[in-house]
Chain A
Amino acid sequence: MTVSPEVITVEHASKTYATGAQAVAPVDLTVRGGEFVALLGPSGCGKTTLLRMIAGLVAPTAGSIVAHGDARAAMVFQSPTLMPWSRVEGNVRLPLDLAGVPREAADAAVRDALAIVGLSQAGERYPRELSGGMQMRVAIARALAVSPAVLLMDEPFAALDEFTRQRLDDDLAALWHARSLTVIFVTHSIQEAVYLATRVVVMTACPGRVAADLAIDGPHPRDEGYRGSANFAMWCARVSDAIARP
């Protein structure tokens, strides 16, 4: 198997706040095309800060973050963050409009993105008319509409109930496989990280740093059945171990 090109390279990037508190100790991380990287760790371990640095929303205090070939990133946040005054279609179209994408191309991209997340029928509805899970799907469609080189997800399903979360994890796993996406996914759930990722990067707190970087060798595409497999149980145990004894 040939090695995919690097999409994001984090070189010794760290973040220290004005108060002197160090949120992220110098981190090195390379993400290659087609990888699904889970950033896993407890609250306050700087995983969200690291993701926001990769997104360009937070500037690293030292070190650098390189997006190769001007790789565009799109982000899915902890909450759906949809514009309540705008229909689903308008929400998905927003980043395209902001980038000045011509009308017909934008129409097509919105249609495709809504079809991918299974919401083709919901374009005319307002966000408040949708369930939490469906709102998250709209947020994912919005991120996919710009065909990003890397998809950044910040605990996107953490606020949802367990059933909805597993459904969305299943769909995301299938989507990643079918579309050969590159994903960096922040989570505090070991099971979710192992289920989704090709690579789990374990972070520890105070200051946030990378404690372990594990390649999950479970077969793809994964579905509900993988959660019951020995491989899944083995990796969950090994990740737990890495968290307990960093």
Chain B
Amino acid sequence: MMREHLIRVLAPVAVAIVLLAAWQLAVMFYEVPSYLVPSPLRIAQTMIEDRDLLLGSLWVTAEIALTALAIAVLAGVATALLFAQSRIIEASLLPYAILLQVTPIVAIAPLIIIWVKDTHVALVLCAVVVAIFPIISSTSVGLRSIDPGLADLFRMSRATRLQTLVRLRIPSALPYFFAGLRVASGLALIGAVVAEFVAGTGGQGAGLAYQILMAGIQLNVPRLFAALVLITLAGIVLYLAVGLLAHLVLAHWHESELAQS
């Protein structure tokens, strides 16, 4: 078991080391200029040199993504609970939720940015639009996926609607909710970055997307890579955090988490 665990961690790390070494050697050997492909060491050096700028921007982007994710969770769960109340409500509103999902965010973002005066609010809104759908759809599927036998038991016990919701529907929906949250966490970050690209706001509140945009224009490719690495790292941390949360909540009973423990 421990060995298995070690392999799961060490194998990807080994792959990373080999790839990075090959990249470093190739760049050195062929003398590729750093404005085309910077070497890993050069990127690391840039990350250290530009750390104030980059970390500030990382915080801006992360804050937008996290705020958006929180709002998407609250609004998404509320919508799913509303859907669970009646088929008519669900039938009348679901198409619009899907509309939100299928319209590309790059196409809506300019409108949102024009309509909403406060740029920060506009960026958060864009990220919410992207992240909310998986929460709504998985949670409403989960609220409906109840064991028919348990549903009978609740009926025979003359349970109220509220009792059935709290003691049966919501616990049944949790695994589905976390599956949706996993997807939504990645989408919130993507939404935040895309919205920043479209908004193109610089200055004090500049996010990582803006740093990538500017670095691209200035051909400061090492900084561009450094910003890219930070976005990816932020995404991974977010994903792992959601995974940990799901594990803490579901580990003692749900198959999805039992298999891993």
A56 and B149 contact, Cβ closer than 8 Å, known pairs A84-B253, A85-B253, A98-B163? no
Q: Among residues 114 to 173 in chain B, which have CB atoms less than 8 Å away from a CB atom of chain A?
A: 147, 149-150, 152-159, 163, 167-168, 171
- Chain A residues contacting B154 (CB-CB under 8 Å) are 98
B260 to chain A, nearest CB (A): 15
- Chain A residues contacting B163 (CB-CB under 8 Å) are 98
Considering the complex, give the chain A residue whose CB is closest to the CB of B160. Answer: A98
For the complex, give the distance between the alpha carbons of A112 and B167 in Å. 23
A128 and B258 contact, Cβ closer than 8 Å, known pairs A85-B171, A98-B158, A98-B159? yes
Q: For the complex, is A50 an interface residue (Cβ under 8 Å from B)?
A: no
Q: Chain B interface residue count: which class?
A: 20 to 34
Chain B 233-261 interface mask (CB, 8 Å, partner A; 1/0): 00000000000000000001110001000
- On whether the beta carbons of A95 and B153 are closer than 8 Å, the reply is yes
- On whether the beta carbons of B152 and A99 are closer than 8 Å, the reply is no
- On whether the beta carbons of B156 and A56 are closer than 8 Å, the reply is yes
A73 and B153 contact, Cβ closer than 8 Å, known pairs A98-B163, A126-B253? no
A99 and B150 contact, Cβ closer than 8 Å, known pairs A85-B253, A94-B167, A128-B253? no
For the complex, give the distance between the alpha carbons of A146 and B158 in Å. 13
- Chain B residues contacting A78 (CB-CB under 8 Å) are 149
Q: Among residues 44 to 101 in chain A, which have CB atoms less than 8 Å away from a CB atom of chain B?
A: 55-57, 73-75, 77-79, 81, 83-86, 94-95, 97-99
- Chain B residues contacting A79 (CB-CB under 8 Å) are 149
B163 to chain A, nearest CB (A): 6
A81 and B153 contact, Cβ closer than 8 Å, known pairs A98-B158, A98-B159, A98-B163? yes
Query: B156's contact among A57, A85, A97, by CB below 8 Å, is which?
Result: A57
- On whether the beta carbons of A55 and B153 are closer than 8 Å, the reply is no
A177 to chain B, nearest CB (A): 25
Chain A 156-172 interface mask (CB, 8 Å, partner B; 1/0): 00000000000000000
Interface residue SS majority, chain B: helix
Count of chain A residues with a beta carbon within 8 Å of a chain B beta carbon: 23
A76 to chain B, nearest CB (A): 10
Of B147, B150, B157, B159, chain A has the most CB atoms within 10 Å of the CB of B157
- Chain B residues contacting A84 (CB-CB under 8 Å) are 253-254
A81 and B158 contact, Cβ closer than 8 Å, known pairs A98-B163, A126-B252? no
B60 to chain A, nearest CB (A): 39
- On whether the beta carbons of B258 and A95 are closer than 8 Å, the reply is no
A120 to chain B, nearest CB (A): 21
- Chain A residues contacting B168 (CB-CB under 8 Å) are 83
- On whether the beta carbons of A99 and B253 are closer than 8 Å, the reply is no
A68 to chain B, nearest CB (A): 18
- Chain B residues contacting A98 (CB-CB under 8 Å) are 154, 157-159, 163, 167
- On whether the beta carbons of A57 and B152 are closer than 8 Å, the reply is yes
Query: A75's contact among B153, B171, B174, B252, by CB below 8 Å, is which?
Result: B153
- On whether the beta carbons of A94 and B149 are closer than 8 Å, the reply is no
For the complex, give the distance between the alpha carbons of A78 and B149 in Å. 9
- On whether the beta carbons of B157 and A81 are closer than 8 Å, the reply is no
- On whether the beta carbons of A75 and B152 are closer than 8 Å, the reply is yes
Of B154, B174, B253, chain A has the most CB atoms within 10 Å of the CB of B253
Q: List 30 A-B contacts (CB under 8 A).
A: A55-B152, A56-B155, A57-B152, A57-B155, A73-B156, A74-B156, A75-B152, A75-B153, A77-B152, A81-B147, A81-B149, A81-B150, A81-B152, A81-B153, A83-B168, A83-B171, A85-B252, A85-B253, A86-B171, A94-B153, A94-B157, A94-B167, A95-B153, A98-B158, A98-B159, A98-B167, A99-B158, A126-B253, A128-B253, A128-B258
Which residues of A come within 8 Å of B, CB atoms? Answer: 55-57, 73-75, 77-79, 81, 83-86, 94-95, 97-99, 126-128, 146
